[in-house]
Amino acid sequence: MIRQESAKLFLWDQIFYIKKSGRRALTFALEHFGLRKQRPEDLHNHLARIVASETETYIYHELGELLDTGFDRNIWRKVIAMFPQTPIEFLARTVKDLLADTSDYGLLRYIIQHRKTTSLAFYVAFIESLTKELFPEIIDAFKEFTQTLNWDVIAQATAKGYSTASYHADAICDIFQKGKKKNNKKWIENEIAIRLLKPLGVT
């Protein structure tokens, strides 16, 4: 019961503070729940139904994190510990989340397999800014999907997202291991900034 209430509050905040870039996807999702007017009172009255429908989907993010091995867990923990509350930590966490969501065990694979249209729309609506930079394919694919309902374009985008996340995970691990051999934390920081963060527009 407590988890359901927490989920309802979380979803309400996500909807209430939705960015302009996510409104189209949010509208698409809510319309599929029959909420065409989307007034606050209507959203509030249907929130429990939406949460109940989406809860199982989000379990697959956790499952993806548990089962995917695309980011060496030991190195990931060391990177997080070495660069707390920095763009490097933000990147490492985002890459790990993207691997989880796009892996064979993850959220997007589950959505595709079960044709969860509303779950896909919510994913795109609430996508974080750095994830969007790493995974722009899902935005374009979703735009096409709203016109065609072609799940193949979502599957192709998901595969590309996993490939991109894998590249960044491997690069972070490679830089970290080389920097540890040099015993040079500053070198690690500079290399990640130049090779990975700067191309993403993160400084």
pLDDT, one tens digit per residue, over 35-84 is 876 677 777 777 888 888 888 888 898 898 888 889 999 999 999 999 99
Q: Which residues contact 145 (CB under 8 A, 6 or more apart)?
A: 120, 151, 153, 154
List the domain boundaries for the chain: 57-200
CA dist., res. 118 & res. 11, Å (int): 13
Instruction: Judge whether residue 8 has pLDDT over 90.
Output: no
The whole-number pLDDT of residue 58 equals 83
Rounded (5°) CA angle 111-21-33:
45
CA dist., res. 135 & res. 165, Å (int): 8
Cβ(153)–Cβ(141) below 8 Å: yes
Instruction: Judge whether residue 1 has pLDDT over 60.
Output: no
The whole-number pLDDT of residue 37 equals 66
